[in-house]
Chain A
Amino acid sequence: MSRRTFLHDLYGLGASLGSVALTSMLAETAAAAPRPHHANAPAKHCIFLYMEGGPSHLDTFDPKPKLGQLHLKEFQRGGEEQSAMSSGKRYYVKSPFTFRQAGDSGAWMNSRFQQLAHVADEICFYRGLQGESVNHPTANYHVNTGNRFGGDPALGAWVNMGLGTENSDLPGFVVLPELSFPQGGPANWSNGFLPNRYQGTALRPQGSPLLDITPPAAITGPQQRKNLDFLATLNRRHAKRHPQHDELEARMQNYELAFRMQTRVPGLVDLGQETRATHSLYGIGQPRTDNLGRRCLLARKLVEEGVRFVQLYASTWDSHDYIARAHGSLIDSVDRPIAGLITDLRQRGLLDDTLIVWMGEFGRTPDNGIRGGIKYGRDHNPNAMAVWLAGGGVRAGHTIGATDDIGAHAVEVVRPMQDLHVTLLRLLGLDDERLRFFHAGRFKQLSQFGGKVIQELIA
């Protein structure tokens, strides 16, 4: 048998190694092509600023003067409201911070938000959201996936399935975590039961953004290309013998995606090309703000590159004790990077295309338990929390909803998590009722069983 016949057998009708690889790349590109929106929508991208640990609405954007009068008054919580965390003797705690109104809209914020105050009119504050879980991992899962118990697709995965990616060299859903992952781990950016390509990809904040993204020196570009082509040959033959096993195809696609990421990602995460002015806008180079500033700038670059959904984590707002010090320093560390991001997106004309979400997994309580002395902290509170949106399509310059006079419960425009989810999808031009996936005997959706758009948040 001649060598030509071998090749013929191997690759089919005269195809060469190179062209087969190209075909598979084209197939991937086709699969990843942007899909039509379900509705007309301004936002094409989303940057989700996840304030991990549960930021206190009472100490950020929802001041409660009444707590000043109740400060250190004791009370006993009981009855139906009792949970493990909130049981026993409690006392009220006033906010240690001063507040002021910012912008033409007069939005309330902690006075330590010095930079954010300048962009207050870009923001729509929302005080009516309620979650369901008092614990971090389950509350994280609820915010991120709609299912408190994890295992379901994350919002970013749904959005990518709905909108497709604009850049087939990069994953459509990128996560920029802290050095340590949030509680609940990578299930917070899982594809769940959606195809694997919608899974969030986490970029490490130090060293190589992705471990082993660079092959060893001996594996030059040409060598790796040859390796990939030979691998594709073996995998295709194998897949032909197992035509019913669709995971094989997903794994094959991953190699091509990895190869493209390998050439693109190192350049992408290099912020050296950005001007000094941009660096200082984000607080890069300043000890307090460098960590989040770098990631906020990277988020902007990713959005410019066509990444659909970027999620950043800033930890940890879990201030059970010493809230004055802990929240104070956290506000200082996020203020400039986030205000810089909004300003930068606005300057570049990207803000109208980009939806920004700021929230944590829950708010915090107006009261605290006695834990071996008074330390002025706050416990977890899923019944009231701070959320704000900015950018594409949101009702900027407004504060929507309200909590009661001590901030224990939301009392106006009170809506559950699934309503926020369908609202975010709507802002991105997606309809939760149509963005569904058949799994385990029924069509599933981000809202689990449907939700209502919070119209008040939409311009």
Chain B
Amino acid sequence: MLNRRVLPLVVSGCLGLLTCLQGAEPAEGETVRTSGGQSDDWTNRSYKPSDLWAYRPLRRPTPPATAPHPIDAFILAKHPRGLPTAPPADRATLIRRLTFDLTGLPPTPAAIIHYRLDRRPDAYRRLVERLLASPRYGEQWARHWLDVVRYADSSGFANDFLRPNAWRYRDYVIRAFNTDKPYDRFVLEQIAGDELKPDDPEHQVAVGFLRMGPWEHTGMSVARVTRQLFLDDVTNSVGQVFLGHVLRCARCHDHKFDPVPTRDYYSIQAVFATTQFAEVDAEFLPSENTRGFNAHRKYHRLRADANGRMLAGLPARRVTPNDFGRHRLGRKWRVLFNWAADSYRPIALSVYNGPGTPSRRVFSRQKPVPLPARDRPRHSSVLDGGDVFSPGDPVTPGVISATGLPATIPTSFGGRRTALARWITHPDNPLTARVIVNRIWQGHFGRGLAAHANNFGASGKPPTHPLLLDWLASEFTAHGLSIKSLHRLIVSSWAYRRSSTHPDPTTLARLDPDHTSYCVFRPRRLAAEEIRDAMLAVSGELNPKPGGLPARPDMNLEAALQPRMIMGTFAPSYVPDPLPEQRNRRTIYALKLRGQRDPFLATFNQPGPDSSCERRDTSNVTPQVFALFNSRESSDRSLALAARLLEETDSDHQAIDLAFQLTFGRHPEAAEQAAALAHWKNSIRLQAQPPAKPQTMPTTITRRANEENTGEVFTFTETLFEYRDYVPDLQPHQVDARTRGLAQLCLVLFNANEFLYVH
């Protein structure tokens, strides 16, 4: 159906990936040996040598002797002649940059003073070590990983229900970063944990990676098609996440740009042909947080009981729209609530090997089915045109053949994924180390050496510093695949420690228009989660408790109570946890529903979890102003900060000084101190009126909709149990005008560019 017109090649400057573009052909050049295309033309076609960089064996180039730090030496080698470099950043700037990068939180005033006064020659190194050792480090870097793997607590699409145990995978990733799990272990466990150590809960949880994509199965779905959607999803996901290859492009035809025949696509897919969904028993580990269970379960039971009573009260013979509508809703919720109770049980969202009947279980736990004796796996095939009903040539489990690294993958039920994971983590695999090293680099500099972290093929941008990328990858491989060592290496370079102000911007714009020289540090806006977390940290409200059941923070009330349909009826409403310490946890622990995103986070560019996000957008839009300047959450944080400032200081002057230290990481200048004081005074006057009664939270909500069987309107009232016990954060009526006035000052500080940007 696609037309054959030859399209000009679209080179998109930022996030656009060039995938599956029809008609274009690689230019003359080099041929590549693969498992073979669907036509001889494709098999024998040649590629531009520069497009094949990612398949070249990993080199270990010797750093030029032009700079003490190898990273700086490699960067210097490509430095535009005549372009000055920015001076090193000052210590205050550096500690803020480093603390946000490594932990996602601002440095405390004490930490800043300590670092600024630390005259030991290795003060910076000590700072790096302290931050890498902090549990906050894993929370920050797991966030980057979860963007790529599309973590969410619900299934998405038509079945956007809770995945009761998904949170254990999220915590596994955080632990992996905190314990500096060697990257090969990290890969092996996520792809084949259940095969490697079936009795180890950690391994069973880790392999939940394979189930991170959105997934649906409805009465309308064809089971085989659904199954194929999973296989396509997991194939592409493994390709993007670990190998930097958008394999989806080779689903219907040989890859248009890359030497990836459709045969490779289905060979990789065949690795997963025996992989089946299961929620398996997996005891909780001592390192997992199970403390919140009782508090959560109380409300879960209240909801389930109320639903049971509602159902029991319906007449046996249904007549009115309410009878029909409430019956449909009650039955659906009964199933949902039953399943959600698995949240409190030692179960892992996992997989097992077997023939499996295509899974139809959407609303309840599915257990592994024992392997039938003497059963043999069905063979896999290329699917012509990507159509599950058009099997073509048979394939055996395999890998990306263009890498030149072969793999022996068994055709039995078990062991396929282990073999694939061992191929991915093989030291001679040219893709794996480059891909992860590039991601970590991007986490520090905002952009990878190769700009498209998920696409190392011809349509992604080639690395700006290929020798540096190779050296980093080989260094990473040589030093135990330690991510923390990689951080140490990167942040100790001068490239990372430069000022964000360049001495000669005109020359900079002329000689480095694409910002690839690293001669000046590129400032970044805080990510959505960092903004919220930093506000909580500064206000003193952040509960640093790690892990456990997803927290339900406050959300804009209109967005929280907006009707949301799943499977032909209403989804239960989003209700925040009742207590401040339950709500005010780090954002990575917040419940993440695919179908109901927190508007504050979405506005600040938290990516949707349906597709892998290789790099976040940081666009600047007006609704961000409303979210940060007008929202109840911002007011709450500001008031809490004001109360903290008055509690911890003895004079107005000190309070303002501390406010600047906490939010900006520096003391106010005299003029700022005066202006802030004036603003505070003015605000005290404006806040003199006793505040209005605090907003009372709704304890019920009534929904209306057309009922399916009758076509008439039915209504349903849901009780929002948590709101009955809801304890708000500090509210204006609980404090005096002086505090309320100071809160206005704090609100402005939270909105200031200096708070939101890392320089």
Contacts and interface: CB of A to CB of B under 8 A. Distances in A.
Interface of A: 1, 3, 6, 9-10, 80-88, 130, 132-134, 147-152, 171, 179, 185, 190-193, 196, 199, 201, 206-208, 210-220, 222-223, 226-227, 230-231, 233-235, 237-239, 241-245, 247-248, 250-252, 254-255, 257-258, 261-262, 321, 365, 371-372, 380-383, 416, 439-442, 444, 448-449
A151 B558 contact: no
Contact of A245 (B8, B625, B686, B757): B757
**Chain A interface helix/strand/loop/mixed:** loop
A1 B385 CA distance: 78
Interface residues of B, number: 87
Contact of B629 (A191, A238, A255, A439): A255
Contacts of B8: 448-449
Interface stretch (B326-334, B537-545, B748-756): B748-756
Nearest to A257: B622
Contacts of A383: 1, 3
A216 B752 contact: no
Contacts of A132: 2-3, 7, 22
Nearest to A416: B5
Nearest to A207: B558
A234 B752 contact: yes
Given A149-B12, A196-B619, A441-B513, A218 B635 contact: yes
B629 A215 contact: yes
21 contacts: A84-B385, A88-B390, A132-B22, A149-B10, A149-B17, A151-B12, A151-B16, A199-B619, A206-B562, A211-B559, A212-B627, A212-B629, A213-B630, A214-B630, A218-B635, A226-B682, A238-B753, A244-B502, A245-B759, A251-B756, A258-B622
Interface in B536-587: 556, 558-559, 562
A27 to B, nearest CB: 17
Contacts of A245: 500, 523, 757, 759
A149 B622 contact: no
A201 B619 CA distance: 13
B385 A87 contact: yes
Nearest to A237: B672
Contacts of A416: 5
B556 A238 contact: no
B683 A223 contact: yes
Interface of B: 1-5, 7-8, 10-19, 21-22, 220, 222, 251-252, 384-387, 389-390, 500-502, 505, 508, 513-514, 520, 523, 525, 556, 558-559, 562, 599, 608, 619-627, 629-632, 635, 669-672, 674-676, 679, 682-683, 686-687, 691-692, 732, 740, 744-745, 747-749, 751-754, 756-757, 759
Contacts of B625: 254-255, 257-258
B20 to A, nearest CB: 9
A196 B623 contact: no
Given A6-B675, A179-B562, 9 more contacts: A201-B623, A210-B623, A216-B635, A227-B629, A234-B748, A238-B752, A242-B523, A243-B501, A262-B626
Contacts of A244: 500-502, 505, 508, 520
Contacts of B5: 416
B13 A439 contact: yes
A28 to B, nearest CB: 12
A87 B669 CA distance: 70
The residue in B8, B252, B686 that gathers the most chain A C-beta atoms within 10 A of its C-beta is B686
Contacts of B384: 82, 87
Contacts of A192: 14
B626 A212 contact: yes
A242 to B, nearest CB: 6
B1 A81 contact: yes
B740 A218 contact: yes
Given A88-B387, A152-B16, A218-B691, A254 B632 contact: no
Given A84-B251, A223-B687, A211 B753 contact: no
Given A87-B387, A179-B562, A247 B622 contact: no
Contact of B692 (A217, A239, A247): A217
A10 B672 CA distance: 8
A334 to B, nearest CB: 19
Contacts of A242: 500-501, 523, 759
A220 B513 CA distance: 45
B671 A134 contact: no
Given A87-B387, A211-B559, A152 B12 contact: yes
Contacts of B752: 231, 234-235, 238
A1 B673 CA distance: 13
A210 B608 CA distance: 20
Interface centre among B17, B384, B513, B754 (most CB of A within 10 A): B754
A190 B380 CA distance: 42
B623 A211 contact: yes
Contact of A130 (B3, B520, B674): B3
Nearest to A449: B8
A262 B21 CA distance: 43
A191 B14 contact: no
A384 B653 CA distance: 70
B744 A227 contact: yes
A244 B498 CA distance: 14
Contacts of B16: 147, 149-152
A216 B687 contact: no
Contacts of A212: 556, 623, 626-627, 629-631
A350 B554 CA distance: 45
A87 B500 CA distance: 55
B604 to A, nearest CB: 12
A258 B14 CA distance: 27
B524 to A, nearest CB: 9
B1 A134 contact: yes
Contacts of B385: 82-84, 87
